[in-house]
Structure 1
Amino acid sequence: MTSLSAAEARVLLPQLHELLHDAVDSGASVGFLPPLATAEAQEYWQSVFAAMEAGHRLLLVARAPSETDLLGAVQLDLATRPNSLLRAEVSKLLVHRRARRQGVGRRLLQALEAEARRLNRTTLILDTRHGDHAEQLYQSMGYQFVGAIPEYFINHDGQPHATAVYYKLLAATNE
């Protein structure tokens, strides 16, 4: 698992596009609906790079043993208000279909949590489609279910769907 700079991420833009397209095409709840337009994906990744450059977001990636293909990615969105510097949001956990159920998502989250601890972000939050397989992963890693918000977003089938909200409290580092 590697935490990228914005410059390193820009080099991987075609692979990041492919990863996002694969997630959307496979019905993942990541904020986009199929078919995902290339321009929409481009605009999204440019906003991620801008947030990284501003110091508000981290992007971690998992690569294949060949080091050429991306297997997955996850982001840590850092809260920036003075009273919220202890928290961050886990977002866009993407694992390519060819790498699912192989521990990639778990390893990405473990690396993300290590980065959060390094930054003294001890409260992590996330949301996901209620009933999604991802909930099992989050629960197995100690994320606590807060509740579900009904009719929170439009699902890939065009129907309103609930989101599940989770949090995890990390032990602070003594550095």
Structure 2
Amino acid sequence: MLISDKRNIHIEELKEANNIAVSDLVALTLDIVQGRASVGFMQDINEEKASEFWNNVLAKVQQEKTVLLVAKDSSSDQIVGTVQLQIDLPQNQPHRAEVAKMLVHSAFRRLGIAENLLQHLELIAKKMRKSLLVLDTVTDSPAHALYLKCGWKVVGNIPNYALFPNGTPCSTTYFYKNLE
């Protein structure tokens, strides 16, 4: 387990499915979508859909296709943040991985949790001999600013690439980071 010095939050790799973790991840997802973040879900998301999503992610974790990090509030052991490293890529791309679903609960934002999750994920990627990471996020969002702050390079923007939960189009920015 890796320890964070931010508001008694600790970061750990989640390797097994359990009902408490899935329940926390579902609650986190619903909080994010209710906050209008474009993270792949529409406003009609419910506990059942979110649970199905996280059970699928955890199946990929079990198959060693995805690394899943969670940030937990030490006082309650509740999951308040998460990020994924998707490593199941084509044979000609063994050197890279994709960062996905960086989520931090609205009550725990601006505490450095996302940056801490990202730093831990980059260390894991290096240990796995990944030299290139890629990700995408909503253009000009707080996450966009975070990735710039953390040394990620902009590839470009695609207008109207995705939708906010209410159906409004949003621009997406692609980033990369060399780990060597």
User: What TM-score do you get using the length of structure 1 for normalisation?
Assistant: 0.92
Per the alignment, residue 132 of structure 2 pairs with 123
Per the alignment, residue 103 of structure 1 pairs with 112
Match of 2:38 among 20, 29, 37: 29
Match of 1:156 among 159, 165, 169: 165
Secondary structure of residue in 1 paired with 2:129:
coil
CA contact (8 A) 1:25 1:35 kept: no
Secondary structure of residue in 2 paired with 1:158:
coil
CA contact (8 A) 1:143 1:166 kept: yes
CA contact (8 A) 1:79 1:87 kept: no
Per the alignment, residue 4 of structure 1 pairs with 14
How many pairs were matched up? 170
Secondary structure of residue in 1 paired with 2:119:
helix
Secondary structure of residue in 2 paired with 1:109:
helix
Q: Structure 2 unaligned runs (5+)?
A: 1-10
Do structure 1's residue 91 and structure 2's residue 72 form an aligned pair? no
Secondary structure of residue in 1 paired with 2:92:
helix
In structure 1, how many angstroms separate the alpha carbons of the residues matched to 2:19 and 2:99?
21
CA contact (8 A) 1:10 1:49 kept: no
> What amino acid does structure 1 have at the position aligned with 2:151?
G
In structure 1, how many angstroms separate the alpha carbons of the residues matched to 2:158 and 2:116?
28
Per the alignment, residue 68 of structure 1 pairs with 77
CA contact (8 A) 1:123 1:170 kept: yes
User: What TM-score do you get using the length of structure 2 for normalisation?
Assistant: 0.89
C-alpha root-mean-square deviation of aligned residues, in Å? 1.3
Percent identity reads 36
User: What are the equivalent positions in structure 2 for 1:48-59 lying under 5 Å apart?
Assistant: 48-59=57-68
Secondary structure of residue in 2 paired with 1:18:
helix
CA positional deviation for 1:159: 2.0
Q: Which moved more, 1:28-37 or 1:118-127?
A: 28-37
In structure 1, how many angstroms separate the alpha carbons of the residues matched to 2:109 and 2:117?
12
Match of 2:26 among 10, 17, 23: 17
> What amino acid does structure 2 have at the position aligned with 1:100?
R
CA positional deviation for 1:11: 4.1
